[in-house]
């Protein structure tokens, strides 16, 4: 929705204040995974190390939600079109099944639109709990 590339650049610039070494994949187009008819999505992935070691995943999630709101996202239609969607899919080797944030993301292993850009910048990144790499997960999707 709207100028997606400009919105990505804006969000990435804000995330770099927390992750100065942020590596960002190129944009990948994919069909929306939704029962709601909508245009294709542009997806990317980013990997970095925190500048502030006191930031925990829940605090970063609050930052992500604030970015989405600032970009104009309104959560009025579940799985509907949105101007920006920022997800935390991994946090090191942390495994968490909390309702507000599940780590790794519960559908990471089945989503090509996440694995493709992530494999572009971090193919050897290991996904807990079994330590399989991002590249291996992508290969399993065929």
CA–CA separation, 23 and 57 (whole Å): 18
Which one is catalytic: 82, 109, 112, 126? Answer: 82
Is residue 126 part of the annotated active site? The answer reads no
Which one is catalytic: 21, 40, 56, 85? Answer: 85
CA–CA separation, 89 and 101 (whole Å): 9
The CA–CA distances, whole Å, from 115 to 22, 48, 67, 109 equal 17, 16, 22, 8
Is residue 9 part of the annotated active site? The answer reads no
Is residue 107 part of the annotated active site? The answer reads no
Which one is catalytic: 14, 87, 109, 126? Answer: 87
Is residue 73 part of the annotated active site? The answer reads yes
Give the residue numbers annotated as catalytic, written as ranges: 73, 82, 85, 87
């Amino acid at each position: 929705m709207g100028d997606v590339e400009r919105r990505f650049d804006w969000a990435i610039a804000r995330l770099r204040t927390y992750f100065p070494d942020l590596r960002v994949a190129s944009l990948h187009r994919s069909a929306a995974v939704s029962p709601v008819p909508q245009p294709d999505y542009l997806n990317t992935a980013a990997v970095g190390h925190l500048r502030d070691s006191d930031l925990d995943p829940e605090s970063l999630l609050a930052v992500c939600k604030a970015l989405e709101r600032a970009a104009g996202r309104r959560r009025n239609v579940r799985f509907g079109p949105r101007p920006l969607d920022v997800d935390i899919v991994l946090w090191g080797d942390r495994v968490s099944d909390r309702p507000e944030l599940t780590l790794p993301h519960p559908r990471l292993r089945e989503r090509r639109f996440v694995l493709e850009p992530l494999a572009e910048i971090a193919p050897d990144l290991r996904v807990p709990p079994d330590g399989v790499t991002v590249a291996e997960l992508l290969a399993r999707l065929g």
